[in-house]
Chains A and B, each alone.
Chain A
Amino acid sequence: EPEVTQTPSHQVTQMGQEVILRCVPISNHLYFYWYRQILGQKVEFLVSFYNNEISEKSEIFDDQFSVERPDGSNFTLKIRSTKLEDSAMYFCASSPREVHQETQYFGPGTRLLVL
């Protein structure tokens, strides 16, 4: 069964450093998403991406964040200058359609720790 994959599974970085989180969505999906989950809290939407551009973003997704689909398979989230409060689990998700009946398929997550 096809699945969303994410690398790395864990990342430790120093405050102020740049990190790139990588995702490979399910191959025939067209819509891609990033979410984050601070430890013990709910999952929060960051950004959605379709047709090589951002279609929606939350207030969390400020100028330090960017997303890119550098080739036909990868979908990346870049955090330019990490802050302590960026420590969280980051989930990538993909969906074949943008309708309310369609679930989003989540990757296993990248656990980011900013020191």
Chain B
Amino acid sequence: AQKITQTQPGMFVQEKEAVTLDCTYDTSDQSYGLFWYKQPSSGEMIFLIYQGSYDEQNATEGRYSLNFQKARKSANLVISASQLGDSAMYFCAMRSNTGNQFYFGTGTSLTVIP
């Protein structure tokens, strides 16, 4: 069975600072993908970044980067130069080749302080 754990229910960061949101996962699959989504207060799920299990380099998308440590089974999201609009819930998710569904963590609520 697949499991995603996000241990930080809430985080605060000063505007323009960097912040790391933690995510660990558990799977016996060899091939899998790790995803981060942002959910603002309006409720929609916005795809941010993807990391494949066989990717040797950490994924980056603008101000988002993924600190992937396969041996530790962690896929932390790093947001650089935080902006007020980054305040939202952030969900880590995993998808494996053996199933159709995404498995989501419980989310981290990020608040950016001016």
Binding site for B on A (CB under 8 A): 31, 33, 35, 41-45, 48, 50, 55-56, 58, 89, 91, 98-109, 111
A48 and B101 contacting across the interface, CB-CB below 8 Å = yes
In B39-88, the 8 Å CB interface with A consists of: 42-47, 50, 52-53
A100 and B95 contacting across the interface, CB-CB below 8 Å = yes
Contact of A43 (CB < 8 Å), options: B50, B91, B96: B91
Binding site for A on B (CB under 8 A): 31-33, 35, 37, 42-47, 50, 52-53, 91, 93, 95-97, 99-107
A43 and B101 contacting across the interface, CB-CB below 8 Å = no
Closest 10 pairs between A and B when the two form their complex, measured CB to CB: A106-B45, A45-B101, A48-B100, A100-B33, A43-B104, A108-B44, A56-B100, A42-B106, A42-B104, A100-B97
Tell me, in angstroms, the Cα distance from A108 to B43 when the chains sit together: 7
B101 and A91 contacting across the interface, CB-CB below 8 Å = no
Known: A100-B96, A108-B43. 17 other contacts (CB 8 A): A31-B100, A43-B102, A45-B101, A48-B100, A55-B100, A56-B101, A89-B43, A100-B32, A100-B52, A101-B33, A103-B35, A103-B47, A104-B95, A104-B102, A106-B47, A109-B43, A109-B45
**22 residue pairs bridging A and B, Cβ less than 8 Å apart:** A31-B100, A42-B91, A42-B104, A43-B104, A44-B104, A45-B101, A45-B102, A48-B100, A55-B100, A58-B101, A91-B45, A100-B95, A100-B96, A103-B50, A105-B47, A106-B46, A107-B44, A108-B43, A108-B44, A109-B43, A109-B44, A111-B43
A100 and B31 contacting across the interface, CB-CB below 8 Å = yes
Residues of B within 8 Å of A56, CB to CB, are 99-101
Residues of A within 8 Å of B106, CB to CB, are 41-42
